[in-house]
């Protein structure tokens, strides 16, 4: 399968009103045609609004696949399916969650990115879709998309190819991680894989450690 970048999308923090309160968010992203630099922490022209839960090396670049768009187009009555709708930096073709192993390194444009974890949305996804149940729908569907860490900086543009360069561990896909996270259950072997995985984002690994401790005590 030919894997490629369909769209590169960026956005800056903006203040919106949700449920009668002001909210700062960068979830509103728009496609750009030019080639953009990917740095250690983000894509040029993009900025996270709340660094306490967004951003950082393990959430530097967020990708969401066309396969997910197709699914949601059958589920939601939404008027505008412009890429970037889910807050992704990269809209991909051929990189769904169940094929992306945690730790795998892809060359995307001239950058090298490593699969770090799924995306678990906060309430701002509800605001994006003006739907208080959107986070639940997203979680139930387990179509999370992929957060990448940046191994080598580079640049990217719509139309660039996506090439798998290294696959050092085939233990867990992004979908596998999401299934345990949302179900809050796993057999001991699977939990050990999550806790001890060398490439899973450290904050998420610690989350699973705490969860394992809570069910074992």
Task: Write down the pLDDT at residue 213.
Answer: 66
* 163 within 8 A of 107, measured Cβ to Cβ: yes
* 61 within 8 A of 33, measured Cβ to Cβ: no
Residue 215 lies in a domain: no
pTM above 0.85, yes or no: yes
Residue 182 lies in a domain: no
Label residues 73-99 b or e (16+ Cβ within 10 Å = b): eeeeeeeeeebbbbbbbbbbbebbbeb
Task: Write down the pLDDT at residue 187.
Answer: 82
Residue 29 lies in a domain: yes
Residue 202 lies in a domain: no
Task: Write down the pLDDT at residue 147.
Answer: 98
* CATH number of 46's domain: 2.40.33.20
Task: Write down the pLDDT at residue 185.
Answer: 73
Q: Supply the DSSP symbol for 140.
A: H
For β-strands 61-65 and 90-93, DSSP reports them as parallel
For residue 12, give its domain range.
4-168
Domain count of the fold of the chain: 1
Following CA atoms 64, 68, 69, 73 in sequence, which dihedral angle do they give, to the nearest 10 degrees? Answer: -150
Task: Write down the pLDDT at residue 49.
Answer: 60
Task: Write down the pLDDT at residue 183.
Answer: 86
Residue 132 lies in a domain: yes
* pLDDT block averages, 10 residues each, the chain of length 217: 94 96 96 98 87 79 99 98 98 98 99 98 96 97 98 99 98 96 84 95 93 67
| Both structure tokens of 193 | 């894989």
């Amino acid at each position: 399968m030919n894997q490629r970048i369909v769209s590169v999308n960026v956005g800056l923090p903006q203040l919106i009103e949700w449920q009668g309160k002001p909210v700062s968010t960068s979830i509103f992203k728009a496609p750009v045609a030019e080639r953009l630099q990917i740095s250690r922490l983000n894509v040029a022209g993009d900025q996270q609004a709340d660094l306490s839960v967004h951003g950082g090396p393990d959430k530097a670049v967020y990708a969401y696949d066309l396969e997910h768009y197709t699914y949601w187009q059958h589920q939601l009555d939404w008027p505008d399916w412009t890429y970037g709708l889910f807050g992704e930096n990269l809209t991909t073709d051929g990189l769904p969650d169940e094929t992306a192993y945690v730790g795998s390194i892809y060359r995307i444009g001239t950058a090298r990115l490593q699969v770090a974890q799924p995306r678990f949305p906060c309430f701002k996804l509800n605001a994006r879709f003006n739907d208080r149940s959107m986070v639940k729908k997203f979680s139930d569907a387990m179509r999370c998309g992929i957060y990448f860490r940046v191994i080598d900086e580079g640049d990217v543009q719509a139309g660039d190819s996506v090439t798998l360069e290294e696959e050092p561990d085939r233990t867990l896909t992004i979908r596998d991680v999401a299934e345990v996270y949302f179900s809050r259950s796993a057999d001991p072997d699977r939990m050990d894989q999550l806790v001890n995985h060398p490439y899973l984002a450290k904050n998420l690994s610690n989350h699973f450690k705490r969860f394992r401790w809570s069910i074992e005590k």
